[in-house]
């Protein structure tokens, strides 16, 4: 459906030649994160995501466009608020770790709807890790038990440290209990979190990891139906942050947990395909997270309720992260201009521009 379009505010565009596109490389993204600080940036990203969830109705929304293979998935995640358009390219290949490669890599683009011109191209492998953790902590701020201090982190791969620091920065946890079927992953996470201000406890089983935890985060990579948490492991009053289920046929929780928990989701048509919700019948109740954040629906009902954030990641969160990077690279050295767009003197004379470049 067509709708009125207005250009981005000139102050939101980079002060560079109109044919040049600001590009944030992996190296510059790392420099920017360190310049801002990991925890301050996680808090800032959560604020941007929260602001966009409060204007949910403005966005084009569609489940991610996925191309599945027997070894992984490649996806595009697009959205627009009518002024800016953003998309992320992302893959998910669990077998990559065995080959010395990242399970997930990503890049993203933000464009001006009025002209169609890109205004930002950026790496999003690191940025996705940051925005995923920020989204988890934003949800926990609304859904976790008041005064939560301990999180169990089950699955200690690339997300573990980001999730732990985001929960510290936004929710106030002071202890993280780690478990992974690969003890080397737990050792890695414990080593990286040393000196973070968190008490880090390495555990030998998922059962031990959840002891005394008010927040249970599951983040496993295998592309399969799995039971990371069984029903008898989950007591009253906890908040479950289930972020590993991100494709069809991949789940982490026993169905009985899902059946008795208060479920909160991002975008239902996508969660039904990819999340824990795919285990449940069509009439299973849930609440969309944006409704809680906007005040249209309640979050945690009482101290005994088990709450479940069935997170699969949604394009609006990436859009928020792209907005954040666009806003925070102004006046810095953390980007370079790419000669990405043709810019002939006469917009109708593209061939003439080509010929003038000869010899």
pLDDT tens by residue, 108-153: 999 999 999 999 999 999 999 999 999 999 999 999 999 999 999 9
Q: How far apart are CA 263 and CA 208, in angstroms?
A: 25
**Residue 346 designated active-site:** no
- Across-strand partners of 73? 68, 92
- Across-strand partners of 199? 175
- pLDDT confidence of residue 246: 64
- Strands of 164-258, DSSP E: 175-179, 199-202, 215-218, 225-229, 239-242, 251-253
150-174: per-residue pLDDT in tens? 999 999 999 999 999 999 999 999 9
Residue with structure tokens 């044919």?
19
Q: How far apart are CA 180 and CA 129, in angstroms?
A: 18
- Across-strand partners of 288? 265
308 exposed, middle or buried (CB, 10 Å; 0-12, 13-18, 19+)? buried
Token duo for residue 300:
């945690």
- Which entry of 52, 246, 310, 318 is annotated as an active-site residue? 246
Q: How far apart are CA 243 and CA 298, in angstroms?
A: 22
23-63: per-residue pLDDT in tens? 999 999 999 999 999 999 999 999 999 999 999 999 999 99
83-98: per-residue pLDDT in tens? 999 999 999 888 998 9
- pLDDT confidence of residue 15: 42
Q: How far apart are CA 215 and CA 182, in angstroms?
A: 22
205 exposed, middle or buried (CB, 10 Å; 0-12, 13-18, 19+)? exposed
- Please name which of 237, 254, 236 lies closest in space to residue 245, comparing C-alpha atoms: 254
Domains of the chain (ranges; CATH) run 14-127+316-356 (3.30.1780.10), 134-313 (3.40.50.720)
Q: What are phi and psi of 88, to 5 degrees?
A: -125, 135
Note the residue count of the chain: 359
321-333: per-residue pLDDT in tens? 999 999 999 889 9
- Is the pLDDT reported for residue 78 higher than 50? yes
Q: How far apart are CA 23 and CA 215, in angstroms?
A: 37
Give the chain's mean pLDDT: 92
């Amino acid at each position: 459906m067509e709708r009125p379009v207005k250009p981005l505010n000139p102050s939101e565009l980079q002060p560079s030649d109109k044919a040049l596109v600001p590009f944030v490389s992996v190296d510059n993204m790392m420099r920017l994160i360190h310049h801002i600080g990991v925890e301050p940036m996680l808090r800032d990203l959560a604020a941007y995501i929260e602001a966009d969830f409060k204007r949910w109705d403005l966005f084009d929304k569609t489940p991610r466009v996925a191309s599945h293979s027997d070894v992984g998935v490649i996806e595009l995640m697009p959205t627009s608020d009518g002024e800016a358009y953003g998309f992320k390219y992302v893959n998910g290949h669990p077998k990559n770790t065995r080959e010395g490669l990242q399970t997930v890599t990503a890049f993203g683009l933000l464009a001006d709807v009025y002209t169609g011109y890109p205004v930002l191209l950026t790496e999003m492998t690191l940025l996705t890790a940051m925005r995923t953790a920020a989204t988890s902590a934003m949800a926990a701020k609304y859904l976790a038990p008041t005064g939560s201090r301990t999180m169990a982190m089950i699955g200690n791969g690339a997300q573990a440290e980001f999730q732990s620091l985001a929960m510290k920065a936004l929710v106030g946890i002071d202890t993280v209990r780690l478990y992974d079927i690969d003890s080397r992953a737990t050792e890695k996470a414990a080593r990286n979190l040393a000196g973070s201000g968190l008490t880090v406890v390495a555990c030998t089983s998922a059962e031990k990891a959840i002891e005394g935890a008010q927040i249970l985060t599951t983040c496993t990579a295998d592309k399969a139906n799995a039971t990371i948490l069984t029903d008898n492991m989950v007591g009253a009053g906890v908040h479950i942050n289930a972020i590993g289920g991100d494709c069809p046929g991949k789940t982490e929780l026993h169905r009985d947990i899902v059946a008795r928990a208060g479920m909160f989701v991002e975008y239902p048509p996508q969660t039904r395909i990819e999340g824990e919700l795919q285990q449940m019948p069509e009439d299973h109740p849930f609440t969309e997270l944006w409704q809680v954040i906007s005040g249209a629906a309640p979050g945690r009902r009482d101290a005994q309720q088990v709450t479940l954030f069935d997170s699969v990641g949604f394009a609006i969160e990436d859009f928020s992260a792209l907005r954040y990077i666009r806003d925070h690279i102004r006046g810095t050295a953390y980007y370079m201009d790419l000669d990405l767009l043709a810019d002939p003197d006469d917009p109708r004379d593209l061939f003439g521009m080509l010929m003038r470049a000869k010899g």
